[in-house]
Structure 1
Amino acid sequence: MADRRERFETGMKTRRAVLGDTYVDAASARMTPLDEDFQTFITESAWGGVWSRPGWTKRERSMVTIALLAALGHDEEVAMHVRATANTGATPEDIREALMHVAIYAGVPAANRAFKIVNKTLKDMKTEEADKA
């Protein structure tokens, strides 16, 4: 049990570092008894396991994650992870290169849709940043 608890704590720390406190706090507040086990599983496995492994930087993991989500057509998750690049260090140029791979290996329609999502998300992020200033 201590191993799972450690993975959860590591996962929550990594999740907050990548997605930001605001996002994680909101996601935690939306948690219900129905999805509590699922949220714990994601925190332990994805964030405490895969995202916390040594070997790749958060920037590298961010680029691969965006490419995979785009290839699979998970639009909301693409947008969420594009927002996370503010914390991971992946640049718009990194995202472009990841989506070029998506075009070749997963298809032009998948990349085309992802480019639309990325452009909108980056524009929204700029607007939000300007509004803060």
Structure 2
Amino acid sequence: MSKSALFDKGLQIRKDVVGEDYVQRAFDKAGEFGRDFQELVTEYCWGASWGRDALSRRDRSLLNIVILGTLGRNEELALHLRGALRNGVTSDEIRDALIQLAIYAGVPAGVESFRIAQDVLENPESQPTAHSKGQKP
């Protein structure tokens, strides 16, 4: 698959998962300095990774929730929790994934991840901001 085809595929997946408005804001806020990074994220993370076929978007969302919660990447966790809901992940599945995270990554990571998930589940339509230049979703 060519670079532009991977970018196009990634752009569509990225918009589907995190929302078209978020993606547009991320590119707009990136400016000249961060544009190359946003293109890399779109092509590499979303096209070359999320664009693969062995795992469903739902499965990838569950993986991202646990990975981001484990790493303490809280803004990204909130973003991907919203994406998980778009990908059909239920609140029960999110709860069980976060319990699994707490067991293997530690209770403090679980406590913070549950706090963020509860906020997202109570406000699923609120949009994250992509406020930092070059911030990757």
TM-score (norm 2): 0.86
Q: How many residues align?
A: 127
Larger radius of gyration: 1
Q: Which has the higher helix share?
A: 1
- Per-residue Cα deviation, 1:72-122 (whole angstroms, up to 9, x for no partner): 000000111111123211111111111111111111100110000110111
Structure 2, unaligned runs of 5 or more: 128-137
Query: Is structure 2 residue 73 aligned with structure 1 residue 86?
Result: no
Say whether the 8 Å CA contact 1:71–1:102 is kept in structure 2.
yes
The 1:29–1:127 alpha-carbon spacing in structure 2 relative to 1, beyond 3 Å, is closer
1:69-80 aligned at under 5 Å gives the runs: 69-80=68-79
Partner residue, 2:135: none
> Which shows bigger deviation, 86-95 or 61-70?
86-95
Root-mean-square deviation (CA), in Å? 1.7
1:30/1:91 Cα in 2 relative to 1: closer, same or farther (>3 Å)? same
Say yes or no: does 1:37 pair with 2:43: no
Distance 1:44 1:94 in 2: 28
Counterpart amino acid of residue 29 in structure 2: R
Mapping 1:87-102, distance limit 5 Å: 87-102=86-101
Give unpaired runs (5+ residues) of structure 1: 129-133
How far, CA to CA, are the matches of 2:7 and 2:49 in structure 1?
12
Q: How does 1:1-133 map to 2 (within 5 A)?
A: 3-125=2-124
- SS of residue paired to 2:31: coil
* CA offsets 1:18-45 (integer angstroms, 9 cap, x no match): 1111211221221211111111111011
More moved, 17-26 vs 64-73: 17-26
SS at match of 2:114: helix
Q: Distance in 2 between matches of 1:60 and 1:77?
A: 17
CA contact (8 A) 1:20 1:87 kept: no
Identify the structure with bigger relative contact order (alpha carbons < 8 Å, sequence gap 6+): 2
TM-score normalised by length of structure 1? 0.89
In structure 1, the residue corresponding to 2:53 is in which secondary structure?
Answer: coil
